[in-house]
Amino acid sequence: MLKAHLRDCLATLGRLWRDKINTLLIAAVIGITLALPAGLHVLVQNLSAVSYSWEGSLQASLFLKDSVNETRGRQLAQELGRRASQVQYISREQSLAEFRALSGFGEALDLLADNPLPAVIVITPKAQQTPQQVDQWLEELGRLPEVELAKMDQKWLQRLYAILDIVQRSVLMIAALLGLAVIVTVGNTIRLDIENRRDEIVVMKLIGAPDGFIRRPFLYTGFWYGLAGGVIAWIFVRGALLAISLPARRLAGLYESSFTLTGLSFSASLLVLGGGLLLGVAGSAWTVSRHLSRIEPT
């Protein structure tokens, strides 16, 4: 049985090889179809990597009410510290001193009778918290009686996360649609193959070939198309990465970042190849199940 599979597998490869140009064209169509989601995946991955490198600087500020004294403020900071990676209490006096030192408006402040600056608790959320969790937490904190206002710094980073989330889901949807396209492409190719070999199939059935025997070469045709498409997709993505890695490094250099483009990981490469292969087999199985049983000797 295994031997029969191996023989069909190789015989199918031989048949496809004899028709190189056609096979290559079909594999290229599948390759392009697979390269698109794979490329987008790499893009999103790299954007995520960029944004995560800023994550350490994601901070929230809790502006406390003036009625909250320093003891209570420090106590609150300590309580919150358990749920954050870092908290810092900045008293009203510290705020004032900092402002005086940094802003250059020190003399103007002297004109005021009271210190207008609130006490602040600066919170760095734990890294494993998702932006949504941080948001939710911040909302809770905003409702605390001691807190006047809870505000996320670097709002834009959150927006970037939200956008990335949308893009990530879009990539999944695009991948699903294009996967369907691969199934249809392979299915249609094999449908034509079945039509062209109708006489052969009839003869096979006449001399008592079981369905499985007749089906196998077509399934392996789909297998090879899918695998070849996966390989081509992988080459496309690698090529594209190679082409943009230099400008990407230059751009990173302008931001004084040591960021380098990450390519397709080993597991992602396997996914492209394995995905192509599975879609190829799925496409052929779908067609074969629909068309082969309709061909009967009369």
Partner 1 sequence: MGEAISFHEVGHRYPSGHETLSQVSFALAQGEMAFLTGHSGAGKSTLLKLIACLVRPTRGQVVINGQNTGTLKRRQIPAFRQDIGLIFQNFNLLYDRSVFDNVALPLVIRGFDHDEMGRRVRAALDAVGLLGREKVLPITLSGGEQQRVGIARAIVTKPALLLADEPTGNLDPTMAREIMQIFRRFNEAGVSVLVATHAVDLIQQLPYRILNLAQGRLTSERPVGHHA
Q: What burial class does residue 32 get, using C-beta atoms within 10 Å of its C-beta: 0-12 exposed, 13-18 middle, 19+ buried?
A: middle
For residues 1 and 112, which CB has a smaller minimum distance to partner 1 in the complex?
1
Q: Binding residue for partner 1 (CB under 8 A) from 4, 6, 192, 244?
A: 4
Q: Could you tell me the smallest distance in angstroms from the CB atom of residue 160 to partner 1?
A: 59
From the list 85-93, 205-213, 263-271, 284-292, the region that binds partner 1 by CB under 8 A is 205-213
Answer yes or no whether residue 14 interacts with partner 1 by CB under 8 A. no
Q: Could you tell me the smallest distance in angstroms from the CB atom of residue 214 to partner 1?
A: 9
For residues 13 and 181, which CB has a smaller minimum distance to partner 1 in the complex?
13
Answer yes or no whether residue 270 interacts with partner 1 by CB under 8 A. no
170 within 8 A of 44, measured Cβ to Cβ: no
From the list 30-38, 63-71, 203-211, 274-282, the region that binds partner 1 by CB under 8 A is 203-211
Q: Could you tell me the smallest distance in angstroms from the CB atom of residue 15 to partner 1?
A: 10
For residues 79 and 200, which CB has a smaller minimum distance to partner 1 in the complex?
200
279 within 8 A of 186, measured Cβ to Cβ: yes
For residues 41 and 215, which CB has a smaller minimum distance to partner 1 in the complex?
215
123 - beta bridge partners?
Answer: 60, 87
Coil, helix or strand at residue 152: strand
For residues 17 and 213, which CB has a smaller minimum distance to partner 1 in the complex?
213
Could you give phi then psi for residue 282, rounded to 5 degrees?
A: -65, -45
From the list 113-121, 147-155, 201-209, 263-271, the region that binds partner 1 by CB under 8 A is 201-209
Binding mask 278-297 for partner 1 (x = CB under 8 A): -------------------x
> Tokens 């989330």 label which residue?
165
Q: In the numeric block, which tokens belong to residue 35?
A: 């390269």
Nearest by Cα to 222 from 188, 252, 246: 188
Answer yes or no whether residue 213 interacts with partner 1 by CB under 8 A. yes
Angle between helices 266-291 and 20-52 (to 10 degrees): 140
Distance in angstroms (rounded) separating the CA atoms of residues 134 and 68: 24
Answer yes or no whether residue 247 interacts with partner 1 by CB under 8 A. no
Q: In the numeric block, which tokens belong to residue 186?
A: 């392979």
Distance in angstroms (rounded) separating the CA atoms of residues 280 and 285: 9
Answer yes or no whether residue 196 interacts with partner 1 by CB under 8 A. no
- Own/partner contacts of 206-212, CB < 8 Å, gap of 24 or more, are 206/297, 211/292, 211/293
From the list 138-146, 202-210, 257-265, 271-279, the region that binds partner 1 by CB under 8 A is 202-210
Number of CB atoms found within 10 A of residue 43's CB: 16
Answer yes or no whether residue 17 interacts with partner 1 by CB under 8 A. no
Report the interface residues with partner 1, using CB under 8 A: 1, 3-4, 199-200, 202-211, 213, 297-298
